[in-house]
Amino acid sequence: MSRKIIIIGAGINGLVAANYLQRNGYQVSIIESKAKVGGACTSETVTLSGKDYRYASGASVLGLMQRFIFEETGLSKKLKTFVPESPKLVFFPNDSEPTIIYRNPKDLDRELRDKWGEQGNIEAFREDESRVIDFLQTGYRDAVTPNLEDARSILGEALTNLWITGDAKNLLDHYFTSDKAKIYMAMTVAESGPVSIREKSSALTIPIMDSGSIFSGYYGFVYEGIWQVTEELEKINRALGVNFYTSSKVLNVDTKTNRVNFISPTGEEKKIFDQLIFATDPLTASQLVNNSEHIEKVSDKKLLGSSGKLNLLFKQPIQWKHNIDHPDSDASFRFIFSVETLEEFEQATMSVCDHGVDYVPGFMQIYCEGAASKKMNKNLNHDRIAVFFKNLSLDKRGEDLSIVSEEIQDKLFENILNPEDCIWTNLVTPKNLQETFYFPQGNIDHIALTHKQMYFDRTFSFDPENNFYGFFNYEDIFYCGAGSYPCGSIAGTPGYMCSQQLIRLDQ
Ligand SMILES: Cc1cc2nc3c(=O)[nH]c(=O)nc-3n(C[C@H](O)[C@H](O)[C@H](O)COP(=O)(O)OP(=O)(O)OC[C@H]3O[C@@H](n4cnc5c(N)ncnc54)[C@H](O)[C@@H]3O)c2cc1C
């Protein structure tokens, strides 16, 4: 008889784990507290003048997923995607022209020399990063427990120290000379939370964030919006036979009798499992097993997030002041920095740890979702962008920070010729993310990507060597949410790796 698996949480990781396990002969049930699946890969709808507009309330762009997951789950047959081939544009304060991030390292080298006075070795950086990424991707594919011995034997001592255990400051100083190049590369280190570039293991975030293979390390868009990834995966999983319990909040897990108690629209229910996977944030997981030591252990981790997102709708396509001569240029990724030196970047990143600070400008990443969808369907008229930005504290909700929303809009509109076409904006802060998505302290990776919660440490298992995705010391309970290795994002890598480990343990 097939083993009964219960997965709690229908975010990308729960859905990917369910897909692999159901296809491997398990009988999977997913219990999700919300009415619809997706977790932080989801949409909201706003009605303006009688017309409905959907927008991505959590994630926006796809890029960290592994191509094999995209194909093996069946997603590749269902989704239309688009990756802008035009170079990214970077704006620093006081620069009259944007810097163009060419894909070709030689062109990029010339551009960074001209614009930023960069004298370092970009080609060496990209070559070494590729070696680290190959190593990481092989580990993902083989679902191998991350460990330093493998890294040392495959990458060598020097690269392991520089890229895996080292800090981002040292890594960037090794390859680059200009602060602007270092800041641009350091962006991902601070993407989820206030992580210092001097923190041990902070270097590894850089190759991790480039280690998606779906678009060969680049980021792109899904037609209509990224929520299609989880909505399609739900349909695929249902067709495979996965049972879904939505609007069903798990109240607790009885670890002695292997029973889940939850409240569904029809009342209190219980369900027995052979194995259980938490695909929630780790704090919720430890609360559901009701173990004070586990709760304390998770609460002691660095959980703070500092990301905000401003969604904007325009009634006409956005006209950018600066474009490049490329057919995809309207959909180019744009990065606007408010800092010019690495020290300013560091101070802005860490400032949200101080009490009384609501917002300190650092960087804004602009995702041109409407222009990307228009590339896939010419008939779209309205436009939509998402501005993902730093550095917000956990203190206030977006609706209480209209001043921040206006500041972001002012900065953005400096680059837009038709700001009057903007018809709607919505700001979310770490506090909103905590309340909407249950991220413990608003971190988009559930827990920060930082020292002692990175790579081989990004586990909750008592026996990581043999059971990396195990949850504390429970034999039949596993954890595969964004808080586990490698990280969050719309990738599903932890969900995949956990499913493979569970299949292996059962053999
Ligand atoms: C504003 C924002 C922007 C982002 N931008 C990007 C981006 O552009 N690209 C990208 O790749 N990533 C992005 N991310 C990160 C990405 O969205 C997350 O890392 C990822 O969605 C986490 O997936 P998950 O499956 O691990 O967890 P989650 O998505 O958090 O899913 C956990 C699920 O568990 C459910 N749950 C919790 N408690 C219970 C309970 N008691 N009973 C039943 N169910 C429960 C929740 O409802 C939820 O559905 C962004 C995140 C945010 C918030």
| Cβ neighbours around 66 below 10 Å, total | 20
CB 164 within 8 A of CB 132: yes
Distance CA 481, CA 494 (A): 7
Which residues pair with residue 314 across a beta bridge?
383, 422
Helix (H, G, I), strand (E, B) or coil at 196: coil
Name the residue of 41, 246, 283 to mutate for ligand 1: max ligand atoms within 8 A of Cβ.
41
Residue nearest to atom 36 of ligand 1 (CA): 9
Query: Which residue carries 């950018």 as its tokens?
Result: 320
- Which ligand 1 atom lies nearest to the CA of residue 487? 19
Residue nearest to atom 1 of ligand 1 (CA): 58
Nearest CA among 31, 32, 470, 499 for reference residue 294: 470
Ligand 1 centroid distance, CA of 444 (Å) = 7
Tokens representing 100? 């163009």
Ligand 1 centroid distance, CA of 84 (Å) = 25
Q: What is the dihedral of CA 139, 12, 458, 173, to 10 degrees?
A: 70
Ligand 1 centroid distance, CA of 41 (Å) = 6
Confidence (pLDDT) at 1: 66
Ligand 1 centroid distance, CA of 325 (Å) = 37
Distance CA 111, CA 118 (A): 9
Distance CA 165, CA 312 (A): 39
CATH architecture assignment, domain 84-214+303-437: Alpha-Beta Complex (3.90)
Per residue in 412-461, pLDDT tens?
999 999 999 999 999 999 999 999 999 999 999 999 999 999 999 999 99
Residue nearest to atom 20 of ligand 1 (CA): 489
With a CB cutoff of 8 Å and minimum separation 6, the contacts of 223 are 79, 80, 81, 82, 373, 376, 377
CATH topology of domain 4-44+65-78+223-301+452-506: FAD/NAD(P)-binding domain (3.50.50)
Ligand 1 centroid distance, CA of 387 (Å) = 18
Tokens representing 407? 């500041």
- Which ligand 1 atom lies nearest to the CA of residue 367? 8
Residue nearest to atom 32 of ligand 1 (CA): 280
From first to last of its 507 residues, what are the pLDDT tens digits of the chain? 689 999 999 999 999 999 999 999 999 999 999 999 999 999 999 999 999 999 999 999 999 999 999 999 999 999 999 999 999 999 999 998 999 999 988 899 999 999 999 999 999 999 999 999 999 999 999 999 999 999 999 999 999 999 999 999 999 999 999 999 999 999 999 988 999 999 999 999 999 999 999 999 999 999 999 999 999 999 999 999 999 999 999 999 999 999 999 999 999 999 999 999 999 999 999 999 999 999 999 999 999 999 999 999 999 999 999 999 999 999 999 999 999 999 999 999 999 998 789 999 999 999 999 999 999 987 777 999 999 999 999 999 999 999 999 999 999 999 999 999 999 999 999 999 999 999 999 999 999 999 999 999 999 999 999 999 999 999 999 999 999 999 999 999 999 999 999 999 998
Distance CA 247, CA 264 (A): 6
Residue nearest to atom 34 of ligand 1 (CA): 9
> How crowded is the C-beta side of 64, counted as CA atoms within 13 Å?
24
> CB within 6 Å of ligand 1 — which residues?
8-14, 31-34, 39-41, 58-61, 64, 249-250, 279-281, 284, 309, 388, 428, 433, 437-438, 444-445, 481-482, 488-490
With a CB cutoff of 8 Å and minimum separation 6, the contacts of 347 are 360
Inter-CA distances, 21 with 7, 86, 250, 331, 385, Å = 10, 39, 21, 37, 36
Q: What is the DSSP letter of 233?
A: H
Distance CA 80, CA 117 (A): 40
Residue nearest to atom 11 of ligand 1 (CA): 489
Tokens representing 505? 């343990």
Tell me the residue type at 251.
L
CB 279 within 8 A of CB 11: yes
Residue 188 phi, psi dihedral angles, 5° rounding: -65, -25
Ligand 1 centroid distance, CA of 280 (Å) = 8
- Which ligand 1 atom lies nearest to the CA of residue 262? 42
Query: Which residue carries 């690495």 as its tokens?
Result: 342
Residue nearest to atom 41 of ligand 1 (CA): 250
In terms of C-beta density within 10 A (0-12 exposed, 13-18 middle, 19 or more buried), how is residue 336 classed? buried
Distance CA 72, CA 67 (A): 8
Per residue in 203-242, pLDDT tens?
999 999 999 999 999 999 999 999 999 999 999 999 999 9
- Please state the domain extents for the chain: 4-44+65-78+223-301+452-506, 84-214+303-437
Residue nearest to atom 35 of ligand 1 (CA): 9
